[in-house]
């Protein structure tokens, strides 16, 4: 029986893969991708499947599942003097692409490494985080990534990109802009050493912690507060809760001419003079509330009942069902506000 992508994606959608390789070492990962490339076979590099929408027809090529492991700090501060490490600019931690992102965050918080605590609870693998510059609650991985080591499928060699060369932006990077070219092998993070997190940069999180924006809180408290907020929005995976059978936020927050931001909608100024507004606000104000779907004939998919930005599989759905709902929401927002929402997850073999 061929492996089905539906068994490897958080949306629980996607047909069979023609070929499947699970790579547990870096050598296996590079070999699997290189062999498929040499044979002219399409390749899909798969992490945790939490940002993927795969066609019902499946994938006509090799899925390479990244299952490598290892979290290696340059200075092992356990039992040593954290202050000494901190005075040298913190700890540099090199992490294999296949490590689960939230395991790394838990490990960092437990060790007293600050800088990723607000990114608690995000599903998926470490190797995927630089691809869309994962972010939440005022932090982005680009703030702590020192470098990204990749297999370059065009140059057929290993390369290391320093942070400044990754072209990080809001939910984007050079890896996202040049899809499929770079297979992330490992990521090196530079983290501060201490008991307090980075200054809290998000009002909702600051309120939950009882601090002001810009103040610090204990690392463990930040992690717990973020997990609590995320659970309330169905943004922590839970096999028993279909509100989490999603790809997280389905649309990115649009960045537009400030004049286009509707009255009453949030407008966050951007360095280039544009304004970022809230996709969730636009969706709600275009008439799509939480749980939207069944009343419009979408029987097996709906917006999450906890968060309008997540499109969810209520059980037994197909990718075609999900895309029909996504189109309805995107086109409804466009008609109402003249702003075209763009999908955040990667679409494989299908389009909106
Ligand atoms: C409930 C939920 C909540 C979420 N919350 C957030 C959030 O708060 N913030 C946020 O930014 N995202 C969020 N996401 C989206 C998602 O978790 C992230 O984008 C995550 O980094 C995807 O990791 P993954 O390993 O699952 O990638 P996959 O879904 O497996 O792959 C996504 C893309 O990355 C590529 N890729 C994966 N691994 C590699 C690699 N090693 N090298 C090269 N390319 C690779 C794939 O080919 C694909 O194009 C959420 C998703 C869910 C389901």
Three-state SS letters, the chain: CCCEHHHCCCCCCCCEEEEEEEECCHHHHHHHHHHHHHCCCCEEEECCCCCEEECCCCEEEEEEEECCCCEEECCCCCCCCHHHHHHCCCEEEEEECCCEHHHHHHHHHHHCEECCHHHCCCCCEHHHCCCCCCEECCEEHHHCEEEEEEEECCCCEEEEEEHHHCCCECCECHHHHCCCCEEEEEEEEEEEECCECCCCCCHHHHHHHCCCCCCCCEHHHHHHHHHHHHHHCCCCCCCCCHHHCCCCECECCCEECHHHCCCCCCCEECCCCCEECCHHHHHHHCCCCCCCCHHHCCCCEEECCCCCCEEEECCCCCHHHHHHHHHHHHHHHHHHHCCCCCECCEEECCCC
Question: Over the stretch 222-274, which tens digit does the pLDDT of each residue have?
Answer: 999 999 999 999 999 999 999 999 999 999 999 999 999 999 999 999 989 99
pLDDT, position 297: 83
Catalytic residue among 22, 171, 181, 207: 171
pLDDT, position 296: 83
pTM: 0.95
Q: Ligand 1 — pocket residues by CB below 6 A?
A: 10, 44-52, 66, 97, 122-125, 127-129, 131-132, 134-136, 182-184, 235, 237, 244, 246-248, 346
List per-block mean pLDDT (blocks of 10 residues) for the chain, which spans 352 residues: 95 98 98 98 98 98 98 70 55 98 98 97 98 97 98 98 97 96 98 96 97 97 98 97 97 96 94 95 97 87 96 96 97 97 97 94
pLDDT, position 275: 96
Instruction: Judge whether 171 counts as a catalytic residue.
Output: yes
Give the position, in ligand 1's atom list, of the atom nearest the Cα of 127.
Answer: 41
83 Cα to the center of ligand 1, angstroms = 34
Question: Over the stretch 33-75, which tens digit does the pLDDT of each residue have?
Answer: 999 999 999 999 999 999 999 999 999 999 999 999 999 998 7
pLDDT, position 228: 98
pLDDT, position 152: 98
78 Cα to the center of ligand 1, angstroms = 30
Instruction: Judge whether 19 counts as a catalytic residue.
Output: no
Closest CA to ligand 1's atom 10: 134
């Amino acid at each position: 029986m061929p492996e089905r992508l539906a068994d490897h994606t958080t949306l629980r959608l996607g047909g069979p893969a023609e070929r499947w390789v699970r790579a547990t070492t870096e050598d296996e990962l590079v070999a699997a991708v290189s062999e498929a490339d040499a044979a002219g076979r399409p390749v899909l590099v798969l992490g945790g499947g939490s940002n993927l929408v795969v066609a019902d027809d499946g994938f006509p090529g090799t899925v390479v599942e990244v299952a490598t492991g290892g979290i290696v700090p340059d200075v092992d501060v356990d039992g040593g003097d954290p202050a000494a490490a901190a005075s040298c600019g913190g700890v540099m931690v090199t992490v294999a692409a296949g490590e689960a992102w939230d395991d790394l965050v838990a490990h960092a918080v437990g060790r007293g490494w600050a800088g990723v605590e607000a990114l608690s609870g995000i599903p998926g693998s470490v190797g995927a985080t630089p691809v869309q510059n994962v972010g939440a609650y005022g932090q982005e991985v680009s703030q702590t990534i020192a470098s990204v080591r990749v297999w370059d499928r065009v140059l057929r060699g290993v390369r290391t990109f320093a942070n400044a060369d990754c072209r990080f932006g809001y939910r984007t990077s050079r890896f996202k802009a040049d899809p499929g070219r770079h297979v992330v092998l490992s990521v090196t993070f530079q983290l501060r050493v201490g008991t307090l997190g980075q200054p809290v940069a998000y009002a909702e999180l600051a309120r939950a912690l009882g601090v002001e924006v810009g103040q610090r809180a204990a690392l463990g408290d930040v992690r717990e507060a973020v997990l609590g907020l995320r659970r309330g929005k169905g943004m922590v995976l839970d096999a028993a809760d279909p509100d989490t059978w999603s790809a997280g936020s389905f649309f990115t927050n649009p960045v537009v001419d400030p004049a286009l931001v509707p009255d009453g909608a949030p407008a966050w100024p951007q360095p280039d003079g544009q304004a970022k507004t809230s996709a969730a606000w636009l969706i709600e104000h275009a008439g799509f509330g939480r749980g939207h779907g069944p009343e419009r004939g979408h029987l097996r998919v709906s917006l999450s009942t906890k968060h309008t930005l997540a499109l969810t599989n209520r059980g037994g759905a197909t990718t075609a069902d999900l895309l029909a709902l996504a189109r309805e929401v995107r086109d409804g927002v466009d008609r109402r506000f003249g702003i075209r929402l763009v999908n955040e997850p990667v679409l494989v073999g299908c389009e909106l």
